[in-house]
């Protein structure tokens, strides 16, 4: 029996740890800290890049896109190959394990490890050269795949394999995992496209691995090992294209050119560290044409694959109807073009020397298929949309159709294509037996199936273990591979004996020993594996329940749940979509790393702070990792720990992640909750009062606006006020309206009428009672700081035939209280708002929101703060942006109202969607409205950088400017003369004025002006 640790009861009855154990633990902690410090100082003497052992940094690198959590001791960022070689030398001497890392998008736990993590993506990320004549490129290991594609495109070349993570995955990581992607069916895997690798192995030998017997000389014993095992290698390795599990020893065979470079691909950093690579580039295909074939289901689609391969497709992808539905739900109906009939589809790309040739090839595929129906799409918007479904699906498959979290593990198994249909049917049965669900799709031309499954993982990894074992047996039965493109990592290495004979496993161990006898490179992976269910992240996490009072969120919980809520005694978000649990919410981040990518080209905004700093600390994923560590209470000491503050500091609360992250991580909400819990009942940073209470100050200033503006117009006074309020003194104070909108309105519609129409006049003969009512909601910003916007709205709405209602009472959404985490204050304001706007909303009267961030509060945060109040849902449903109001069928101006959108064909404009609008309401309606009216517009993708409080706060100015440089400032600088700047966000207009001297207008102002001109 194990020795019992003596315990001491505390005065309130809890059991305390005995002093001896506490002392032992703190001694162990001290020893670990000292050991870490020694590694850091040893590394710092030899490498120029950063070396970091802070708990925040270790938390950021504690997991990749897998289920695993292995906290490293140190993270280092080499600046050169020399740094890497010298760093590895030191670590070898100290016997410290090392894991190389690119973007960390590995799904099987390949890029996490104990000891030191070397991040290649930060500095070693350049395309060194492209040799168009030889058709090769030389890259550093941290080069992002899409950078290589851009460099190649200038020469009409591309790298063949293209994982869907290509806008953040690095070539080092692709080499590590032998990455593939849709076009591998035409161009092969990464291994097939590697010419030479500059590497250093676990023994410290640096050499160039290439092709031919001579390259074996760098690794004594290798030639003999191959020679002695020819039969074993010939029968068990390289049996079919996607046999990515285990080491790819077939490349070492003489008939395959004794290719050491290719054999090192897919070794997951367990044999060598890659310092550089020479890669084969292929011509960019001409006239790519997409054939979409519809089948009754996925297995039926799979059955058709083998004989379609004869048509030399560039890609054959499988797509399930349920995945398409998920994309439709997440991205809107318009994101999915009309598909041929069926519930499973093949997307087949073909090319040709001309469009005619490609079309003929496409038609031949349609004819020879047994599809129910088909569609041929030449390159163009519909084909792009189809590929986008495939790309979005890769991320969205992280949740089941029912919205439950689906986990990786069995996500890229592969079988020879002729077995694919049968394998899929058996796999479905296996899932049914386990009562689990998932959305299959994948590279069917290669027999590779992607599938994430809602295996219960909240408390233990036991089901994962048994499911994975059964699935591994199944794939082996079909002659397949546990991994078809992601590698084995911690998820599958232990299961390799189900696919390989004991002799083959032994051979892999001997192969490893030639390069890394001390098991220092990525230990626990491929050879001498960690257990499938060891080091799982999710089961280690503890619930952190919503503190919204029980009655308010209708929690039908056990006594202990009620107790926790009651004890907390204050009200944060309900986290209704995450089982009322902050832990479940922060574990939405599965690490796919889309937040690290530059998403601008596809209209994405996420993550502006990372785009500005390129530091994992400032990306949504890094923040989620720190929060995950904070809620599990081990590495980071809770939500109030300094690591959490540091991590969230540069989050702009732009909410872009809430829409752009496929897992729906809403960091702005988590930040608000964390600030709420941290400062509840305590003194807050001064800017929380200055900026968080801005509507309050604005109301006060509204009493004597001229005086306040005059005083704040004196620069030194403004600077002093900014400084005292915790703001950056390079900022300017806003000007308060001399006549706030609501005062203007109250002073009498009858006396001022609609500007331009004359007192008391409206353009309609019908009395107000006969016109449809619209509530014009004057949020605090529009009211006190930009009254010209709601005034313009009065004009436009009246002209459009609405009866404008401006409620008598003030209704503030509490936005600034939310963004500073003053959630009690926010709830008080929203409660008042519900009593003002609720009655209109429940009676079906639309509410027009003008300031996008305030409108977004009514459409999102309000619901999570008042989950059980029917008025909240009614207000959210009734609230519209101007473009939505004017264009959605239920609220658009009635036929016969005489409304005509003014002609904007002489308008050229740079348009900045507010980040909260992008994230919550979307900008499609605005864009469509402007374009339909003839405007020539450039719609920016990316936050303006001010983001409400963020850019004003002390310490944020430089990042705020850097974020503005992502899109806004270059667009303003480069615009042609006469180009207007349209931005509904007060922040976005403020940023443009303060940084570029450009005055912007809200959309409603632009329309109102044209009404004047037209009259």
Ligand X SMILES: Cc1cc2nc3c(=O)[nH]c(=O)nc-3n(C[C@H](O)[C@H](O)[C@H](O)COP(=O)(O)OP(=O)(O)OC[C@H]3O[C@@H](n4cnc5c(N)ncnc54)[C@H](O)[C@@H]3O)c2cc1C
Which of ligand SF4, ligand X, none lies near 651, with the C-beta cut-off 5 to 8 A by kind? Answer: ligand SF4
Q: Is 278 in the site for ligand X (CB under 6 A)?
A: no
Stretch that binds ligand SF4, among 110-118, 592-600, 817-825, 998-1006 (CB under 6 A): 592-600
Question: Taking a C-beta distance cutoff of 8 angstroms, is the pair 173, 99 a contact?
Answer: no
Question: Taking a C-beta distance cutoff of 8 angstroms, is the pair 865, 776 a contact?
Answer: no
DSSP annotation of 754 reads B
Exposed (0-12), middle (13-18) or buried (19+): which is 198, by Cβ within 10 Å?
buried
Quick note: the x/- pattern for ligand X over 577-616, rule CB under 6 A, is ---------------x------------------------
Sheet strands (E) in 193-314: 194-201, 206-209, 272-280, 282-283, 289-295
Stretch that binds ligand SF4, among 290-298, 427-435, 555-563, 664-672 (CB under 6 A): 664-672
Q: Is 607 in the site for ligand SF4 (CB under 6 A)?
A: yes
When computed from its CA atoms, the radius of gyration of the chain, rounded to whole angstroms, is 30
State in angstroms the smallest separation of the CB of 107 from ligand X. 5
Q: How many residues does the chain have?
A: 1015
Which of ligand SF4, ligand X, none lies near 623, with the C-beta cut-off 5 to 8 A by kind? Answer: ligand SF4
Q: Please name which of 805, 813, 808 lies closest in space to residue 846, comparing C-alpha atoms.
A: 805
Q: Is 389 in the site for ligand X (CB under 6 A)?
A: no
Using CB under 6 A, count the residues that bind ligand SF4. 27
Question: What is the CB neighbour count within 10 angstroms for residue 575?
Answer: 26
Determine if the peptide bond prior to 139 is cis (ω within 30°). Answer: no
Which of ligand X, ligand SF4, none lies near 441, with the C-beta cut-off 5 to 8 A by kind? Answer: none
Q: Is 140 in the site for ligand X (CB under 6 A)?
A: no
* Residues 934, 935, 941: CA angle, nearest 5 degrees: 135
Ordered DSSP codes for 264-291:
HTTSTTSSEEEEEEEEE-EEPPSS-EEE
Q: Rounded distance, CA 607 to CA 666, Å? A: 12
Quick note: the x/- pattern for ligand SF4 over 613-652, rule CB under 6 A, is -------xx-xx--------------------------xx
Which of ligand SF4, ligand X, none lies near 632, with the C-beta cut-off 5 to 8 A by kind? Answer: none
Q: Rounded distance, CA 289 to CA 350, Å? A: 5
Q: Is 522 in the site for ligand X (CB under 6 A)?
A: yes
Q: Rounded distance, CA 127 to CA 158, Å? A: 13
Q: Is 667 in the site for ligand SF4 (CB under 6 A)?
A: yes
Query: Quick one: 64 or 196, whose CB is closer to ligand SF4?
Result: 64
Find how far residue 663's CA is from the centre of its chain. Answer: 7
Stretch that binds ligand X, among 4-12, 38-46, 268-276, 873-881 (CB under 6 A): 268-276
- Choose, by CB under 6 A, the member of 55, 125, 165, 917 that binds ligand X: 165
State in angstroms the smallest separation of the CB of 462 from ligand X. 24
State in angstroms the smallest separation of the CB of 515 from ligand X. 11
State in angstroms the smallest separation of the CB of 676 from ligand X. 31
Tokens of 522: 């990525």
- Choose, by CB under 6 A, the member of 75, 657, 818, 937 that binds ligand SF4: 657
Using CB under 6 A, count the residues that bind ligand X. 38
Q: Is 102 in the site for ligand X (CB under 6 A)?
A: yes
Q: Mind spelling out the 3-state secondary structure of 861-882?
A: HHHHHCCCCHHHHHHHHHEECH
Query: Quick one: 81 or 256, whose CB is closer to ligand X?
Result: 81
Question: Taking a C-beta distance cutoff of 8 angstroms, is the pair 845, 891 a contact?
Answer: no
Torsion of the alpha carbons at 74, 79, 81 and 85, rounded to the nearest 10: -30
- Choose, by CB under 6 A, the member of 75, 397, 592, 901 that binds ligand SF4: 592
Q: Is 654 in the site for ligand SF4 (CB under 6 A)?
A: yes
Computed from CA positions of residues 752, 756, 758, 761, in that sequence, does the dihedral angle turn out positive or negative?
negative
State in angstroms the smallest separation of the CB of 451 from ligand SF4. 18
Question: What is the CB neighbour count within 10 angstroms for residue 58?
Answer: 23
State in angstroms the smallest separation of the CB of 69 from ligand SF4. 14
Stretch that binds ligand X, among 36-44, 103-111, 460-468, 775-783 (CB under 6 A): 103-111
Q: Mind spelling out the 3-state secondary structure of 910-959?
A: EECCCHHHHHHHCCHHHHHHHHHCCCEEEECCCCCCCCCCHHHECCCHHH
- Choose, by CB under 6 A, the member of 77, 120, 575, 981 that binds ligand X: 120
State in angstroms the smallest separation of the CB of 493 from ligand X. 11
Query: Quick one: 620 or 953, whose CB is closer to ligand SF4?
Result: 620
Element (H, E) at 501: none
State in angstroms the smallest separation of the CB of 646 from ligand SF4. 14
Q: Is 916 in the site for ligand SF4 (CB under 6 A)?
A: no
State in angstroms the smallest separation of the CB of 106 from ligand X. 3
* Residues 74, 77, 79: CA angle, nearest 5 degrees: 150
Question: Taking a C-beta distance cutoff of 8 angstroms, is the pair 132, 65 a contact?
Answer: no
Computed from CA positions of residues 433, 434, 438, 444, in that sequence, does the dihedral angle turn out positive or negative?
negative
Query: Quick one: 174 or 690, whose CB is closer to ligand X?
Result: 174
Chain positions contacting ligand X, by CB under 6 A: 64-65, 99-107, 110-111, 120, 141, 163-165, 169-170, 172-174, 176-177, 179-181, 268-269, 273-274, 394-395, 485-486, 522, 592
Chain positions contacting ligand SF4, by CB under 6 A: 589-595, 606-609, 620-621, 623-624, 651-657, 661, 663, 665, 667-668
């Amino acid at each position: 029996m194990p020795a019992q640790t003596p315990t001491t009861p505390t005065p309130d009855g809890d059991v305390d740890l005995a002093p001896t154990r506490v002392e032992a633990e703190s001694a162990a902690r001290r020893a670990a800290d000292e050991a870490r410090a020694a590694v850091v100082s040893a590394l710092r003497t030899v490498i120029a890049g950063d070396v970091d052992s802070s708990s925040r940094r270790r938390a950021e690198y504690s997991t990749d896109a897998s289920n695993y959590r292995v906290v490293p001791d140190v993270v280092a960022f080499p600046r050169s190959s020399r740094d890497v070689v010298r760093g590895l030398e030191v670590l070898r001497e100290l016997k410290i394990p090392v894991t190389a890392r690119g973007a960390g998008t590995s799904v099987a736990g390949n890029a996490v490890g104990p000891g030191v993590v070397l991040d290649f993506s930060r500095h070693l990320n350049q395309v060194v050269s492209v040799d168009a004549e030889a058709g090769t490129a030389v890259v550093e290991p941290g080069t992002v795949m899409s950078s290589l594609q851009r460099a190649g495109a200038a020469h009409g070349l591309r790298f063949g394999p293209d994982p869907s993570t290509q806008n953040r995955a690095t070539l080092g990581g692709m080499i590590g995992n032998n990455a593939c992607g849709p076009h591998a069916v035409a161009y092969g895997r990464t291994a097939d496209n590697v010419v030479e690798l500059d590497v250093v192995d676990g023994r410290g030998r640096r050499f160039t691995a290439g092709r031919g017997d001579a390259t074996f000389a760098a690794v004594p014993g290798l030639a003999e090992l191959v020679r002695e095992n020819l039969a074993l290698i010939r029968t068990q390795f390289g049996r079919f294209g996607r046999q990515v599990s285990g080491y790819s020893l077939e490349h070492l065979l003489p008939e395959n050119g004794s290719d050491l470079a290719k054999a090192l691909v897919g070794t997951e950093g367990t044999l060598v560290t890659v310092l550089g690579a020479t890669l084969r580039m292929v011509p960019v295909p001409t006239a790519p044409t997409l054939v979409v074939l519809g089948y009754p289901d996925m297995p039926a689609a799979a059955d058709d694959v083998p004989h379609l391969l004869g048509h030399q497709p560039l890609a054959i992808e499988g797509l399930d109807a349920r995945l398409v539905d998920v994309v439709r739900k997440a991205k809107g109906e318009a994101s999915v073009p009309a598909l041929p009939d069926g519930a499973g589809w093949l997307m087949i790309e073909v090319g040709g020397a001309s469009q005619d040739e490609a079309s003929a090839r496409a038609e031949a595929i349609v004819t020879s298929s047994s599809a129910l129906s088909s569609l041929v799409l030449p390159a163009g918007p519909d084909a792009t949309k189809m590929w986008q479904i495939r790309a979005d699906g890769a991320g969205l498959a992280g949740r089941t159709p029912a919205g439950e979290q689906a986990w990786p593990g069995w996500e890229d198994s592969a079988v020879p294509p002729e077995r694919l249909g049968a394998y899929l049917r058996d796999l479905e049965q296996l899932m049914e037996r386990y009562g689990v669900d998932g959305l299959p799709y994948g590279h069917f031309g290669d027999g590779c199936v992607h599938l994430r499954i809602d295996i219960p993982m909240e408390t233990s990894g036991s089901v994962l273990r048994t499911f994975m074992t059964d699935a591994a047996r199944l794939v082996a039965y079909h002659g397949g591979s546990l991994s078809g493109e992601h590698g084995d990592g911690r998820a599958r290495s232990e299961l390799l004996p189900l696919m390989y004979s004991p002799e083959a496993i032994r051979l892999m161990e001997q192969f490893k020993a030639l390069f890394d006898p001390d098991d220092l490179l990525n230990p626990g992976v491929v050879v001498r594996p960690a257990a499938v269910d060891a080091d799982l992240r999710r089961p280690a996490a503890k619930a952190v329940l919503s503190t919204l009072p029980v009655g308010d969120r209708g929690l039908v919980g056990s006594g202990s749940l009620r107790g926790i809520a009651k004890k907390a005694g204050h009200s944060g978000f309900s986290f209704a979509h995450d089982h009322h649990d902050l832990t479940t919410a922060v574990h939405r981040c599965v690490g796919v790393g889309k937040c690290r990518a530059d998403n601008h080209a596809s209209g994405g905004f996420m993550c502006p702070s990372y785009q500005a700093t390129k530091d994992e600390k400032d990306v949504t994923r890094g923040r989620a990792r720190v929060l995950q560590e904070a809620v599990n209470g081990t590495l980071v000491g809770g939500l109030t720990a300094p690591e959490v503050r540091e991590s969230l500091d540069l989050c702009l609360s732009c909410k872009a992640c809430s829409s752009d992250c496929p897992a729906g991580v809403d960091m702005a909400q988590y930040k608000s909750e964390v600030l709420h819990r941290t400062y509840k009942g305590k003194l807050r940073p001064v800017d929380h009062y200055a900026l968080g209470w801005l509507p309050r100050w604005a109301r006060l200033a509204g009493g004597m606006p001229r005086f306040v503006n005059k005083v704040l117009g004196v620069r030194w006074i403004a600077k002093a006020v900014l400084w005292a309020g915790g703001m950056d003194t390079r900022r300017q104070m806003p000007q308060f309206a001399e006549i706030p909108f609501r005062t203007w309105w109250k002073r009498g519609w009858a006396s001022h009428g609609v500007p331009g129409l004359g007192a008391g006049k409206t353009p309609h003969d019908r009395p107000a009672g006969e016109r449809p009512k619209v509530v014009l909601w004057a949020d605090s910003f529009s009211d006190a700081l930009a009254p010209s916007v709601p005034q313009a709205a009065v004009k436009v709405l009246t002209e459009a035939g609405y009866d404008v209602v401006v409620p008598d009472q003030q209704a503030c959404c509490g936005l600034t209280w939310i963004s500073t985490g003053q959630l009690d204050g926010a709830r008080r304001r929203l409660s008042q708002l519900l009593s003002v706007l609720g009655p209109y909303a429940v009676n079906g009267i639309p509410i027009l929101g003008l300031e996008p961030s305030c409108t977004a509060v009514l459409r999102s945060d309000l619901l999570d703060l008042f989950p059980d109040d029917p008025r909240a849902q009614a207000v959210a449903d009734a609230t519209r942006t101007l473009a939505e109001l004017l264009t959605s069928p239920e609220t658009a101006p009635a036929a016969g109202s005489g409304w005509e959108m003014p002609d904007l064909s002489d308008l050229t404009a740079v348009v900045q969607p507010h980040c909260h609008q992008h994230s919550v309401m979307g900008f499609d309606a605005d864009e469509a409205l402007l374009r339909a009216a003839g405007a020539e517009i450039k719609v920016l993708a990316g936050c303006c950088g001010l983001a409400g409080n963020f850019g004003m706060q002390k310490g944020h100015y430089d990042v705020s400017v850097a974020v503005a440089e992502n899109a806004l400032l270059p667009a303003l600088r480069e615009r042609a003369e006469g180009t207007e700047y349209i931005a509904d966000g007060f922040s976005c207009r403020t940023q443009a004025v303060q940084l570029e001297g450009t005055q912007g207008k809200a959309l409603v102002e632009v329309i109102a002006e044209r009404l004047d001109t037209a009259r």
